[in-house]
């Protein structure tokens, strides 16, 4: 069920019987010369909408702009500062609790959002108002990602390319895949910005001139289908697990 499609009287029965919501998130940021800036939020929304259709759980509108300041040197990247993002996500989640939602899955497709969503979730749990957890598609199927790609990225690499080839093929510049590979870097180690155990880089531009890593020519829409179906299955199972938990069992323990 997609919240934005429903009239308010028709949502009453959902809130009376269910307490789980999916909140898709991503970013609007550079993804190299071959992928759209919408890449992350297109992926997050696709997973959330598909799983909501399969399970009947509620899917909210998508958060399209996240913590992406580390991509700011590339044209068109949009971002919000981390404190503003955390405040917004906490406020949005507390809004859902006013309707009876007490467990939330942030269906997130942007790595820069992860620590901030974890912080928001921890705060909401500590206040015992909601149990909110972050889910990233590639973290749910790491073995498949490794099996499909020799150099999987992470950013703007073949795994994201394959998903967009499947989800939104018209937005992929397939004629630029070799350029993306040849003017980028295979992985962070190749950038030589890890010095004596220290990550000396802060921005994507410190590592890669074109903004991406990996071998984009290894991507195909068929691989995108495999990724999407496998990760969707994982998200369905996560929804079912979370819905089955007693709320009090999700809350912090008093003492050990």
Going by pLDDT thresholds of 50, 70 and 90, the confidence category of residue 152 is confident
| CATH 2.120.10.30 given to domain 3-250 | no
Work out the percent of the chain whose per-residue pLDDT is above 70.
100
What is the C-alpha radius of gyration for the chain, rounded to an integer number of angstroms?
A: 19
In the chain, domain spans: 3-250
- How are beta strands 194-195 and 131-136 bridged, if at all? unpaired
Among 74, 69, 70, which residue's Cα sits nearest to residue 209?
74
- For residue range 55-113, list pLDDT tens digits in order: 999 999 999 999 999 999 999 999 999 999 999 999 999 999 999 999 999 999 999 99
């Amino acid at each position: 069920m997609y919240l934005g499609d429903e009239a308010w009287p028709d949502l009453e029965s959902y809130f009376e019987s269910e307490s789980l919501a999916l909140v898709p998130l991503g970013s609007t940021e550079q993804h190299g010369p071959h992928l759209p800036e919408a890449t992350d939020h297109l992926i997050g929304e696709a997973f959330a909408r598909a799983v909501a259709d399969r399970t009947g759980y509620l899917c909210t509108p998508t958060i399209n702009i996240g913590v992406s300041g580390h991509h700011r040197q590339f044209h068109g990247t949009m971002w919000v500062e981390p404190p503003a993002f955390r405040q917004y996500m906490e406020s949005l989640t507390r809004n859902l609790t006013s309707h009876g939602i007490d467990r939330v899955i942030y269906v997130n497709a942007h790595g820069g959002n992860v620590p901030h969503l974890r912080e928001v979730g921890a705060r909401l749990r500590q206040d015992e108002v909601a149990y909110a957890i972050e889910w990233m598609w590639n973290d749910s199927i790491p073995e498949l990602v490794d099996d499909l790609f020799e150099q999987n990225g992470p950013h703007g690499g073949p795994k994201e390319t394959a998903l967009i080839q499947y989800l939104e093929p018209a937005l992929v510049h397939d004629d630029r895949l070799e350029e993306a590979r040849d003017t980028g870097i295979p992985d962070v180690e190749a950038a030589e910005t890890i010095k004596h155990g220290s990550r000396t880089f802060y921005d994507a531009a410190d590592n890669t001139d074109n903004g991406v890593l990996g071998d984009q020519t290894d991507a195909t829409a068929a691989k995108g289908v495999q990724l999407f179906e496998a990760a969707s299955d994982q998200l369905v199972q996560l929804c079912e697990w979370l819905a089955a938990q007693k709320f009090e069992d999700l809350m912090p323990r008093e003492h050990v």
